[in-house]
Amino acid sequence: MFITDTLIYVQLHKTGGMHINRMLAEVLGGKQQDYHNLPDLNQYPKDQIFIASIRNPWEWYVSLWAYGCDRKGGLYFRTTQPKWSIHGHEFKRRLWDALLSVSREPFRDPTPWQQSYTHADDAIAFRTWLQLMLSNPKTRYDIGEGYAMSPISQFAGLYTHRYIYMFCKDSVKHLHNKNLLTRFNALKDFEQHYNYINYFIRNENLAHDLIQTLQQCNISLTQAQQQIILQANKTNTSSRKHAMDYYYDDQSLALIAEKERLIIEKFNYQAPKLSA
């Protein structure tokens, strides 16, 4: 989370957050307060402006996996480390669910995850990893973050889980209500009602969207400040060299379409077209 006098940027993993933080610091000033933490909405006035960033789900999963191939990221360390770790169980969210998650540690096998994090050019390894993430009911618990304990894990992916957690009011309470978010339509209604973000920046058009968002927030940028944003090099990239279509086949494309339907429909994202 990055805080300025005018707005607060809430940072979702792998959506260009580090870069946006850097740009905001250069053109507006402000301060970094951790990274992927939630704002306490009760601490801010009702007219406080919140902005966030979003990314094409097909691209998001490739980026998340490639980052792990570079031996980086909480998900990589959570899934590949030996058993009996307390990392990633999210005791701060819900103690009971965290204890249930820890109780599954003896049954967790890091080997398939270790084998799926080969190198960022291995499309087959990516598809194997994607199955571990989204298709296997057992390895779902390895992910941590309270994901497997939420009823939405039955029909939605980790990206949607993180999105709801970060950008919706009272998300911790509702995500783990076993009787509430049990179907897609219920989740969609919840997101529409509880989402507190005022403006979203699309990672695919990050520089221009950031400038436009700041203008919508009544923040005037000089030509020099706009050039800083437009000409800045990317931040916190992985070693990946290929475009996202390289990593997918028909089955994996369909899997993302099914599990990340909420984000795809809300932001009108399109799947990559596969080469013939």
The whole-angstrom separation of Cα 13 and Cα 64 is 8
What mean pLDDT, rounded, does the chain reach? Answer: 90
Tens of pLDDT, residues 6-61: 899 999 999 999 999 999 999 999 888 877 778 888 888 888 999 999 999 999 99
> Is 213's pLDDT higher than 80?
yes
Q: Does residue 217 have a pLDDT over 70?
A: yes
Stretch 153-162: mean pLDDT: 97
CB neighbours of residue 185 within 10 Å: 8
Of 56, 50, 45, the residue nearest 10 (C-alpha): 50
**Residue 98: in which H helix or E strand, if any?**
helix 95-103
What is the mean predicted confidence (pLDDT) over 251-264?
Answer: 98
pLDDT digits (tens, 9 = 90+) for 160-201: 999 999 999 989 889 988 889 999 999 999 999 999 999 999
Q: What is the pLDDT of residue 35?
A: 73
